[in-house]
Amino acid sequence: MKLEAQVTGNIGLYYACYMLSRLGWNVMPTARNARGIDIIAYNKTGTQFIGVQVKALSKRDPVPLGNDLEKVMGDFWIVVNNLAKEPNAFILLPGEVTALAHRGEKNGRVSYWLQPTQYDQPKFKEAWQRIGHGHEMA
């Protein structure tokens, strides 16, 4: 099944929202055309907030990071791939994303990518415990 890019993005976003909600976080997707944080979540008492970037892929592909790693922000990154079949989620910290990023250059233009071998690792796969529970005190 071939999914359109916008549909793939929506599936990834709402899958991440679903999983965070199951952990007890109150979850709010941000405006879809905004750059940066895709989800703002807060705990039950409103004392802890997290910002999450979500990257959604229909299969096990590289994650495009753009031409500048300054856009890597938030408290957590969730890469969701295999969305056309059964989602796999990988939970990374922004510092891990920038450290693992691959720098490419083509025709004098620089771009950064997170290769599948970099994010698809046991320490990141379904590692929702890295985010914690929204019902815990900060």
pLDDT score, position 84: 82
Q: Is 96 left (phi over 0), alpha (psi -120 to 50) or beta?
A: alpha
| CA distances, 73 to each of 91, 100, 123 (Å) | 14, 15, 20
Domains of the chain: residue spans and CATH: 5-130 (3.40.1350)
Contact 15, 8 (CB under 8 A): no
The per-residue pLDDT for range 113-123, each reduced to its tens digit, is 999 999 999 99
Whether the predicted model's global pTM rises above the 0.75 cut: yes
The pLDDT of residue 136 is 57
CA distances from 94 to 59, 69, 73, 75, 76 (A): 22, 10, 6, 7, 6
Query: What average pLDDT score do residues 78-90 get?
Result: 93
* More confidently predicted of 2 and 47: 47
Residue 11: is its pLDDT beyond 90?
yes
**pLDDT, tens digit, 9 for 90 and up, residues 31-73:** 866 678 999 999 999 999 999 999 999 999 999 999 999 889 9
